[in-house]
């Protein structure tokens, strides 16, 4: 993992390791107008976090569902809204993409004519890689793009579950490229740090490999487990205990979001599905030959690894 200002003593970053702070005074960050594109769980929580810390004067919302925007306005999550993305972004100092990743470039094309000089555009998408380069290419010359991914998703959705403190203690990955403006990067990092997040940076392609493994693969598997039990016998689902519930919790995640994420990161995901099937085939082989020792060894290995994940 790369850091902007590497701490030579830090070694490999563990979830509980102290993270270098990008800014010494994150409180000095202030945006006059912020636009949230997509006022769902993450977008609304971002807005609430900004407001709680007094980091902006006005938050404009944009989304496809006017009812949701009206509700967000009523809940004081946003201060105004527009169902025209371009209008919602006018005069904004910070624009957050919190819509499904499949809509990013199309929306960037709609707004890039109305972006204020010096504005920063950032996002919370679960896929980076090519998407970051595409977004950079769509920005006007005087607008900076900073790719971001707070690890705070949930099977819960929508503004009713949004919370100003959602990001406290959560990892937030930023994916700067050689084109990224250093000042903009520092501002966005400082913003997430002021929200309580543990900020670090990753190469955008490396980010996509990591999250294909620890997030996108498990999501596809969870969806497949539920549909498999349904195929075996739908009534069996009524017997599920906590193990099943935990394992498949993320199968209740947004189909639309995960459709986009899966497709945009499909090369990595397909590679890892093949590896996963190989591992599952090993276990099947041990079952077939009643290889009790090999089975226990694999389980022990997984148990030790899993217990190290905190």
Q: Which helix (H) or strand (E) covers residue 74, if one does?
A: helix 66-74
The residue among 46 and 81 lying less far from a second copy, judged by its C-beta, is 46
Distances (CA, A) of 143 to 5, 181, 217, 308: 24, 9, 34, 41
Q: Please, which residues bridge with residue 94 across strands?
A: 34, 120
The residue among 50 and 269 lying less far from a second copy, judged by its C-beta, is 269
Cα(174)–Cα(123) distance, integer angstroms: 9
CB of 118 vs a second copy, minimal distance in Å: 33
CB of 150 vs a second copy, minimal distance in Å: 9
- Of the candidates 187, 100, 115, the one whose C-alpha atom is nearest the C-alpha of residue 146 is 187
Residue in the structure block whose two tokens are 């006018």 = 90
| The Cα angle at residue 152 between residues 147 and 155, in degrees rounded to 5 | 120
CB of 151 vs a second copy, minimal distance in Å: 4
The residue among 4 and 283 lying less far from a second copy, judged by its C-beta, is 283
The residue among 74 and 238 lying less far from a second copy, judged by its C-beta, is 238
CB of 38 vs a second copy, minimal distance in Å: 18
CB of 300 vs a second copy, minimal distance in Å: 4
What's phi and psi for 172, nearest 5 deg? -130, 120
The residue among 49 and 173 lying less far from a second copy, judged by its C-beta, is 173
Residue in the structure block whose two tokens are 């969806």 = 223
């Amino acid at each position: 993992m790369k850091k902007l200002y590497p701490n030579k003593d830090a070694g490999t970053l563990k979830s509980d390791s102290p993270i270098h702070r990008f800014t010494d005074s994150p409180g000095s960050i202030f945006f006059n107008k912020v636009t949230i594109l997509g006022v769902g769980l993450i977008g609304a929580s971002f807005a609430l976090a900004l407001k709680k810390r007094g980091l902006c004067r006005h938050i404009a919302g944009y989304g496809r569902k006017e009812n949701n925007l009206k509700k967000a306005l009523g809940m004081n999550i946003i201060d105004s809204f527009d169902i025209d993305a371009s209008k919602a972004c006018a005069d904004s100092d910070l624009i957050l993409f919190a819509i499904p990743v499949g809509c990013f470039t199309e929306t960037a094309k709609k707004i890039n004519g109305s972006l204020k000089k010096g504005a920063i555009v950032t996002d919370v998408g679960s896929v980076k890689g090519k998407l970051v380069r595409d977004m950079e290419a769509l920005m006007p010359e005087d607008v900076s793009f900073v790719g971001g991914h707070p690890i705070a998703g949930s099977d819960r959705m929508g503004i009713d579950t949004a919370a100003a403190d959602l990001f406290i203690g959560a990892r937030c990955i930023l994916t700067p490229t050689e084109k990224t403006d250093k000042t903009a990067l520092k501002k966005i990092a400082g913003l997430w740090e002021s929200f309580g997040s543990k900020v670090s940076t990753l190469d955008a392609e490396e980010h996509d490999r990591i999250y294909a493994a620890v997030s996108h693969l498990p999501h596809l598997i969870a969806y497949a487990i539920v549909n498999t039990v349904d195929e075996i016998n739908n009534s069996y689902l009524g017997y599920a205990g906590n193990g099943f519930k935990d394992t498949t919790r993320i199968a209740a995640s947004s189909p639309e979001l995960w459709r986009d994420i899966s497709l945009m990161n499909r090369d990595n995901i397909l590679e890892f599905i093949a590896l996963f099937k190989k591992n599952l085939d090993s276990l099947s082989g041990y079952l077939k030959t009643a290889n009790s020792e090999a089975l226990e060894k694999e389980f022990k290995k997984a148990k030790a690894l899993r217990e190290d994940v905190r």
